[in-house]
Amino acid sequence: MFEILEKERIGPGVNRAVISAPAIAQAHRPGQFIILRTHENGERIPLTVADKDPEKGTITLVWQEVGVTTYYMGTMCVGEKLQDLCGPLGKPTHIEKFGTVVGVGGGIGVAPLFPITKGMYEAGNNVITIIGARTEGLLIMTEDMKKVSHETLIATDDGSFGIHGFVTQVLQGLIDKGTKIDLAVAIGPVPMMKATVNVTRKANIPTVVSLNPIMVDGTGMCGACRVEVGGKTMFGCVDGPEFDAFEVDFDLLMKRLAMYKGPELIALNNFRETPRGCQCTFPGGA
Cβ-closest residue to ligand FAD? 67
DSSP the chain: --BEEEEEEEETTEEEEEEE-HHHHHH--TT-EEEEESSTTPPPEEEE--EEETTTTEEEEEEE--SHHHHHHHH--TT-B-SEEEEEESPPP-----SEEEEEEEGGGHHHHHHHHHHHHHTT-EEEEEEEESSGGG--SHHHHHHT-SEEEEEETTSSSSEES-HHHHHHHHHHTT---SEEEEESSHHHHHHHHHHHHHTT--EEEE-----SSSSSSS-TTEEEETTEEEEHHHH-SEEEGGGB-HHHHHHHHTTTHHHHHHHHHHHHTSHHHHT---TT--
Cβ contacts of 263 within 8 Å, gap of 6 or more: none
Q: How far is the CB of 97 from ligand FAD (least distance, A)?
A: 26
**Which lies closer to Mg ion via its Cβ, residue 64 or residue 156?**
64
Contact map string, positions 83 to 112, toward ligand FAD, x by CB under 6 A: -------------------------x--xx
Residue 67 within binding range of Mg ion, rule CB under 5 A: yes
Residue 208 within binding range of ligand FAD, rule CB under 6 A: no
What does 125 bind: Mg ion, ligand FES, ligand FAD, none (CB cut-off 5 to 8 Å by kind)? none
Residues 225, 227, 229, 245: which binds ligand FES (CB under 6 A)? 225
**Which lies closer to ligand FAD via its Cβ, residue 106 or residue 241?**
241
What does 20 bind: ligand FES, ligand FAD, Mg ion, none (CB cut-off 5 to 8 Å by kind)? none
Residue 45 within binding range of ligand FAD, rule CB under 6 A: yes
Residues of span 47-86 touching ligand FAD by CB under 6 A: 47-48, 62-64, 66-70
Residue 259 within binding range of ligand FES, rule CB under 6 A: no
What does 48 bind: ligand FAD, Mg ion, ligand FES, none (CB cut-off 5 to 8 Å by kind)? ligand FAD
d(CA 199, CA 22): 40
Contact map string, positions 157 to 196, toward ligand FES, x by CB under 6 A: ----------------------------------------
For Mg ion, the binding residues (CB under 5 A) are 67-69
For ligand FES, the binding residues (CB under 6 A) are 215-218, 220-225, 235-237
